A and B are shown apart, each in its own frame.
Chain A
């Protein structure tokens, strides 16, 4: 399955599409995407997020998301939500307001948290607040 060129940040049913999308398709998205597995290891990191954070994918892929890539999300507002959903065996699809520290500047963003017990990959989608 290929991902159409312009998937919207808020589009319903996004998770299975992302899982099977090609790296090129993910790179064409106009929002940041970080895909990670059940251990928290980053497996997908798209071009948008790479530019915003100033980090190339090879510095991020294979690293632990909440300790080595985005420690700012390692609290009950984000990391805990994924753990709780996994423990409960339930799906997670929630969008929250957050502040990321991209290139050390506080940036208001919307985070969409996506996970499903049936899917190996979990996602944090990042959209700059307008």
Chain B
């Protein structure tokens, strides 16, 4: 008996000390057993201070989980394997963006087992590695795909060769002396972004980007573009510095890796960026802001009375409303802007080179667009509205977490003032204790 008791105690302690989180739940997510590391990782996420349901605890950061389990067809098996869940934006150079890894196994028709671990450090190392790999792959593969050209210190095209005609369809006359935005669809790049990429190339030795490019005839192709300084001599006077630009058409490769990439970068329901992709983009944009402060705004959006929509029309209708919201938002912003579903019915847009006034105008345009349309679900017309919170980056805002907090509190104020409206918060006003304004106040 003594042995059994002490073995039980040893087993208990083994589970107490396990350096990964282990949770067993019912199929609806209600927690049956949970070890301490899970509580360490999940308690800060819990909105109501309980750990009764795993899906509820993760709703704000991994809204897809409930759905993944619900749609899992097999009697048992792996529902998700090392799904990445981003918790915070982090502060570049000071605080790492926090990231969890989540694996969920369906054991049988009544039990799930989840394994949770903190992969913040691993992700950081992996990102550095990915950067160097991208560099080698860009240099070593498929030389024939390239358009290669030299750029002057301000990023204008300086030289001509046939590779440019082959990849972009442009002629010498139409490219020399023009900025490289020529190769991008309207709204896909700004002059600020070009300047950023030149600075990043100087600082890191290269600047890599994947995105849409445009040929002379207006057709688009998915491209990998790399800008590298021609000389790494820092003593060189600025007017003698130049860059090489390589544009590579990777449309084929994109289609091959597309579904995988989309699954990890996009929200399963709406198809727009997910929380993690949003924070990655936000972190990069914030690094740029720190180097050269210039307008940068975020818009946070919440569908009004969403619970009532779900309750009175059913969850499929709620899903349709969220999809419609995502589409309307995507149609309102420029291509360079990042729109994402952050969780639940909360959405956000990151707007580079956009000041508070510009962000407010966009938010108002979006709000009226939503108000003026209806969603058709099963022959029924549903109307809904949105509340929007807007905030802009300035020197008093410490980072993306705080900027989002400002936008969130503006959103809260918009809700409190009666919903279907746009509010904003300014860091200097909040610090000075001034009341924040309505959109046009």
Residues of A within 8 A of B (CB): 53-56, 59, 68-77, 97-101, 103-106, 108
A39 CB to nearest chain B CB (Å): 18
Q: Is the CB of A75 within 8 A of B43?
A: yes
- Convert B24-51 into 0s and 1s, putting 1 for each residue whose CB lies closer than 8 angstroms to a CB of A: 0000000111111111110110100111
CB-CB < 8 A to A106: which residues of B? 31, 34, 39, 50-52
Given A71-B16, A72-B43, A108-B50, residue A101 in contact with residue B38 (CB < 8 A): yes
CB-CB < 8 A to B35: which residues of A? 101, 104
A107 CB to nearest chain B CB (Å): 9
Residues of B within 8 A of A (CB): 8-9, 12-13, 15-17, 31-41, 43-44, 46, 49-52
C-alpha spacing A69/B51, complex, angstroms: 20
- Could you count the A-B residue pairs with CB atoms below 8 Å apart for me: how many are there? 68
CB-CB < 8 A to B9: which residues of A? 54-56, 59
B334 CB to nearest chain A CB (Å): 37
Q: Is the CB of A105 within 8 A of B13?
A: no
C-alpha spacing A77/B37, complex, angstroms: 14
Q: Is the CB of A75 within 8 A of B40?
A: yes
Known: A71-B16, A72-B38, A75-B40. 5 other contacts (CB 8 A): A53-B16, A70-B36, A99-B43, A101-B16, A101-B34
Shortest 10 CB-CB contacts between residues of A and residues of B: A72-B36, A72-B39, A104-B33, A99-B51, A106-B51, A71-B36, A97-B49, A72-B40, A101-B36, A54-B12
CB-CB < 8 A to A104: which residues of B? 12, 15, 33-35
Q: Is the CB of B17 within 8 A of A55?
A: no
CB-CB < 8 A to A68: which residues of B? 17
A57 CB to nearest chain B CB (Å): 11
C-alpha spacing A14/B44, complex, angstroms: 28
Q: Is the CB of A101 within 8 A of B50?
A: no
CB-CB < 8 A to A55: which residues of B? 9, 12-13, 16
A94 CB to nearest chain B CB (Å): 14
C-alpha spacing A88/B37, complex, angstroms: 28
Q: Which residue of B lies closest to A59 (CB)?
A: B13
A120 CB to nearest chain B CB (Å): 26
Given A75-B44, A105-B34, A106-B34, residue A100 in contact with residue B39 (CB < 8 A): yes
Q: Which residue of A lies closest to B42 (CB)?
A: A99
A69 CB to nearest chain B CB (Å): 8
Given A70-B36, A71-B17, A97-B49, residue A103 in contact with residue B12 (CB < 8 A): yes
